[in-house]
Amino acid sequence: MSTKRDTLFQKDHIFEVKRDGVTHVISETYDYKTEPYYAILSLEMKGIAVAPGSTPVLDAYVVPICLEKAGLAGIPVCEWIISHSYVQYPAIIYGINYFATSEEFAIVEDPSEGKKAIKHVTNNGKYPFCYQKLDKGASIIKTVAIFGKICAGDPALADIAEKIYTLFRIPLVTMVVVINNGTAPCLSSLAPTRYSRLTHEEKALLHAYVTNQEFL
């Protein structure tokens, strides 16, 4: 049975929440040249304080830039390498060309898997790619952060989510986090978040922000 929250969060819908002189733009994605990106740019050009800004949303979804900025801000991040062919296995592989999206990544265990993944993310070798070495048995976790808050109870993930929001100011984002053997969670990437993939609890939290029931 559908609910009012389900009806509210329709695909591609953009919300604007105004608090303390800042307009917070909430969207599933903020990709370059999309409607949400232009909405942010338009507010900036009018001199209106807006979060996130047009530069941070672009930086957040380019994996090497995201991790470099996050690392400098004191956020634990995965070690990353830009390569044209070489990979240490097992690894997680991201495309970094103009057409790549951080939503898509490949977890590869050996050269056979890696060759296929690299061919895909580099458009047959035309572009470099980014990879992060994994320990055998490493855990890959996706966690949705809403205004820097998560619904899961893990304190380490909650701390990363809060710091990510402080840095990039993205109200709705998916954190991809790696837990290698015996290590604390490290940020692997940030990715767009589809309303349709939110849990009931996450929709409730986002609904509270959209309807001004939750303080930023």
Q: Using the predicted structure, report yes or no on whether residue 103 has a pLDDT greater than 70.
A: yes
Please determine, for residue 86, whether its predicted confidence score (pLDDT) is greater than 50.
yes
Both tokens of 54, joined, read 């047009």
pLDDT at 212 > cutoff 70: yes
What single string gives the DSSP state of each residue in 110-144?
Answer: SHHHHHHHHHHHTTTTTS-EEEEE--TT-EEEEEE
Residues 55 and 33: their CA atoms lie apart, in Å, by 12
pLDDT at 3 over 80: no
With tokens 């954190």, the residue in question is 175
Q: What is the mean pLDDT of residues 161-166?
A: 98
Q: What is the pLDDT of residues 128-160, one digit of tens each?
A: 999 999 998 899 999 999 999 999 778 999 999
Kindly report the average pLDDT of the chain as a whole number: 92
pLDDT digits (tens, 9 = 90+) for 55-64: 999 999 999 9
Q: Which amino acid is at 181?
A: N
